[in-house]
Amino acid sequence: MLMEMSVAYVMISSELGHEEKVVEQLEKIEQIVEIFVVYGIYDIIAKVKFNERDELRNLILGKIREIEYIKSTETLETY
């Protein structure tokens, strides 16, 4: 039986004027299935699919937060 993947939304604040550079790097990450540039407290929202919570943690800490020009992230995990 196939396990349904979980979804999370990662809200990203980036340095002013570098949103497109961040988006280009996010597009290279396999687990990110959609990216939205938005206006307000956050600059970018990334929709992420993952199997296990450890995978999400490693993705955020090991890949997303390592991208140059990202100032902070906040993650909303869905059920």
Domains defined along the chain, listed by start: 6-77 (3.30.70.920)
Token pair of 1, please?
């039986």
4: confidence class by pLDDT, cuts 50, 70, 90: confident
Between CA 7 and CA 69 the distance in angstroms is: 24
Distance of CA 60 to CAs 1, 2, 12, 35, 75, Å? Answer: 28, 24, 11, 15, 9
Where is 19: in which H helix or E strand?
Answer: helix 19-26
Average pLDDT over residues 46-64: 97
Average pLDDT over residues 56-65: 98
The residue whose two tokens read 């990110």 is 32
pTM as predicted: 0.93
8: confidence class by pLDDT, cuts 50, 70, 90: very high
